[in-house]
Amino acid sequence: MSFGDPNNPYGPPQGQQPGYPPPPPQGQPGYGYPSAPQGQPGYGYPAAPPFQQPGYGVPMEMPGLMKTARVLLFILAGLQLLFGLIAGVAIGAAQDVSNGVGSGDSTGALAGVGFLVVALLLALGALSIFLGVKFKNGGSGIRITTIVYASLMILGGLVNTVRGSGGGATFGGLLSLAIAGIILASMVNSAASTWFNRPRY
């Protein structure tokens, strides 16, 4: 039985039986053979959403402890500025009275020390506000400064509590001790380290 001329360009290719369609070419879609979609998940396996690390397109939210420490810094700043202004006015008024009775020279040195304390309170209040404002965008330097600041406030609170003899200085010492203790505890945990060392873009 003859299958035709093997040199006939219109006949079936050699090695193929007549009446059968040619096999699809490998690696390329042929006519009538759709290609498989590329980059789609297999059946029954949905595509997972892309992972986005905090700091890369997703803003990281300030942890609750950082928010608490920030609010306490603002409260501490308000108290320091208030007490500084009150003490400054009281010292100025006392010095005026002392000058009026002729003993201003003897109380001048004491008033000078009092004004230095007032200036220190006002400076600490300004520092508290600065640190609280920088919590949002500040780096590890703000965290270290806050740790040192809170440690000094704890030391000052202990001194005031011991020397206060149960009076107003004792109450002020206990108040600053409590506030500074919470701020310090907020700064030395892992949440603070993550927040202040986060990437910024």
pLDDT of residue 51: 47
What's the predicted TM-score (pTM) here? 0.63
Indicate the range of 104-118, 128-142, 143-157, 176-190 predicted with least confidence.
104-118
**Does residue 28 form part of some domain?**
no
Which position has the token pair 């050699």? 14
pLDDT tens digits for 31-71? 555 555 555 555 555 555 554 455 455 567 888 888 999 99
- For residue 80, the enclosing domain spans 64-196
How would DSSP label each residue in 130-180?
A: HHHHHTTT--HHHHHHHHHHHHHHHHHHHHHHHHSTTSHHHHHHHHHHHHH
**Does residue 30 form part of some domain?**
no
**Does residue 192 form part of some domain?**
yes
Q: How many domains does the chain have?
A: 1
**Does residue 176 form part of some domain?**
yes
**What is the C-alpha to C-alpha distance for residues 132 and 128, in angstroms, rounded to an integer?**
6
Residue 1 has pLDDT above 60, yes or no: no
